[in-house]
Structure 1
Amino acid sequence: MLSYVMRRLGYGLVMILAVVVLNFLLIRIAPGDPAEMIAGEMGGISAELLNDIRISYGLDQSVWVQLWIYLKQIAQLDLGTSFFFDKPVAELIGARLWPTLLLVLSAQIMSIIVGTVLGALAARNPRGMMSNFVGVFSLLGYALPVFWTGIMLIILFASWIPIFPVQGMTSARFDGGSLAYALDVLHHLALPSLTLAIIFLAQYARISRASMIDVLGADYVRTARAKGVSERRVVFWHALRNAILPLLTVAGLQFGNLISGALLVETVFNWPGMGTLAFESILRRDYPTVMGVLIVGAVMVVVANILTDISYRFADPRIRTGGR
């Protein structure tokens, strides 16, 4: 297992290096000049001022020289300094990281649990009403754009039925203890988390339904039923334990899409996470901050994939046996 994890870490480092190089080059060839954005914030633009800014931030050098300098910084775990905020990028991301993790993990947990249960219930009667509902819901949930779903939920639960806040992570004039703060954050988290979870919930429900239908026809399930085991125990104890294995793989692979979807959700709900920071930095041509967000996102995806592979090997004894 240790050698397997080390190999996966090596592949992950190569992938992160490719992400850094590719995104660095793409950002540099994109239209827009960060020196002009910085000079505009300073109140005036002149040729002399633009030249001084480019020299100060190293923008006067060639792209390949800038890339080499940046790679040496990354090797020292230095994400650089923000052009716009004039603060270390690591500090900016550190302040925005945990809101994004809270949003992503809550949406992931919600989608896996609810999607798995819906799929298991639908598999009990593949031609029943519940199965048809899961099929239609999966199609709609997967097809609807995440930003459109967020706007619709805002209209429904913040305008027509005003029970959830529209934006932010906490109330503007919050005054209370730790428990009240946690409840206030959960109140603001409800709509963004639900918006992000719907598309993946629908996919997990469809996969769980198909996997459960296949497992429920296995010999050991028929044997359990012949022994008089209750249908609930057959479905949720014997069958679901094996049917959930494909969900582990899909959940790990979809983690990257979950993070990219969080960018749109955070923008719609003004959630103070890395997605909002990335959106603001792209508009301001803040190259170091954009690169920092992309690198942290890539690391999160690589770690999630490694954890998924490890959990799959523990969940399925056949993989461990084959590895030996």
Structure 2
Amino acid sequence: MRAFLIRRLLQMIPLLIGISIFSFLIIKSAPGDPTIVYIDPNKPPPSAEDMARLRAQLGLDQPLHIQYIRWLGSALQGDWGFSLTGRRAVTAEIGDRLPATLLLGLSSLMFALVLSLPIALLSAVRRYTLADYFITTLSFIGISMPGFFLALLLMQVFAVQFRWLPTTGIRNVRESYEGFAAVLDVARHLILPTLALGTASLARWVRYQRSSLLEVLSQDYIRTARAKGVPEGRVLRIHALRNALMPMATLVGLSIPQLVSGSFIIEFVFGWPGMGLLGVNAALKRDFPIIMGVTMLSALFIVIGNFLADLAYHWIDPRIRYE
């Protein structure tokens, strides 16, 4: 197990470097000039010499491989550069937005985890009944519906029509709440983004868990336990759920990329002040340092998520050994 952990940790290094190279080349190949953000529309346009001097100051006149080596060297030292639009350090910009993204991601993850198991269990135990068909239909709808469309639909129903929940932001800017009232205000703003981001994962996990439960419930040891008179509730809790949860550990880890990528669109739609909204705005303005910072941090979350999924798989079933 120790050798496996060390090997997986070492594998993260070339993987992240490869992601950084690919992202760097894609961003640099995009059309447009990032120095345009420095041009003041209220002043006369700068001369060609001024623009060339600015490109030299930003290091944009160097070959791509030199630019990448310089960026990588600075990044390894904790210097991710400065935002071209915000004029602040990238680490400061991301640090201000990261808590909001973590809050949204964790709430969506918990929403899907808490509801998926009982719904899947109900569907598996009552398979081929009206309840099973209803759950299956809703699951397929949840899987196939685009996240941005669901976000707009939720906003239209609960915010525009009924006016039960706010549409944008993380808190009410018109009121100044304190203590528990401030927590409730953030929670109200969190409901719609959580539903929009977590519904696809919930629908996917219900389908996977239902299939896993049906497979486990057809095993010989389940039939043996029932033949011995073991109560049905104990059969489900002790024998079925433990074995059905094993694939779920990997599935949760593999769902983290969808949560990370989905948060970009959801945060943009709801104006949620997180890392996703920062990344989208940076892409629209060609703010290269912010884009690279957001991309690499997102990649790090994904790699760590897959690593934790392997650990959870081993924890659920200690019989598994990694060579």
Match of 1:195 in 2: 196
- Structure 2 residue 254 is the aligned partner of structure 1 residue 256: no
- Structure 2 residue 164 is the aligned partner of structure 1 residue 163: yes
Q: Deviations over 1:237-290 (max 9, x none)?
A: 321111011111111011011100000000010000011000111111110000
Match of 2:238 in 1: 237
**Contact persistence 1:39–1:49 (CA under 8 A):** no
**Contact persistence 1:111–1:198 (CA under 8 A):** yes
Instruction: Give structure 1 stretches of 5+ with no counterpart.
Output: none
Match for 2:262: what amino acid?
G
Q: Secondary structure at the match of 1:103?
A: helix
Match of 1:223 in 2: 224
Match of 1:93 in 2: 94
Match of 1:177 in 2: 178
Match of 1:7 in 2: 7
CA distance in 2, matches of 1:63, 1:182: 47
CA distance in 2, matches of 1:147, 1:189: 16
Q: Deviations over 1:21-72 (max 9, x none)?
A: 1100110010010112222467443223312221221112111111110111
Instruction: Give structure 2 stretches of 5+ with no counterpart.
Output: none
Residues 213 and 63 of structure 1, relative CA distance in 2, 3 Å threshold: same
Extract structure 1 runs of 4+ deviating beyond 6 A. Answer: none
- Which segment drifts farther, 10-19 or 142-151? 10-19
Equivalent residues, number: 322
RMSD value, Cα: 1.5
Match of 2:18 in 1: 18
CA distance in 1, matches of 2:44, 2:63: 26
Q: Secondary structure at the match of 2:319?
A: helix
CA distance in 2, matches of 1:69, 1:44: 33
CA distance in 2, matches of 1:55, 1:191: 45
Percentage of matched positions with identical amino acids:
37
Q: Secondary structure at the match of 1:271?
A: coil
Report the CA distance between 1:173 and its aligned residue.
Answer: 2.7
**Contact persistence 1:36–1:45 (CA under 8 A):** no
CA distance in 2, matches of 1:301, 1:183: 30
Match for 2:282: what amino acid?
S
Match for 2:232: what amino acid?
E
Match of 1:299 in 2: 300
**Contact persistence 1:39–1:50 (CA under 8 A):** no
Residues 292 and 42 of structure 1, relative CA distance in 2, 3 Å threshold: farther
Report the CA distance between 1:219 and its aligned residue.
Answer: 2.3
**Contact persistence 1:96–1:272 (CA under 8 A):** yes
Residues 43 and 226 of structure 1, relative CA distance in 2, 3 Å threshold: farther
Residues 253 and 94 of structure 1, relative CA distance in 2, 3 Å threshold: same
- Structure 2 residue 211 is the aligned partner of structure 1 residue 210: yes
Match of 1:283 in 2: 284
CA distance in 2, matches of 1:141, 1:111: 12
Match of 1:81 in 2: 82
CA distance in 1, matches of 2:39, 2:235: 68
Report the CA distance between 1:115 and its aligned residue.
Answer: 1.5
Match of 2:104 in 1: 103
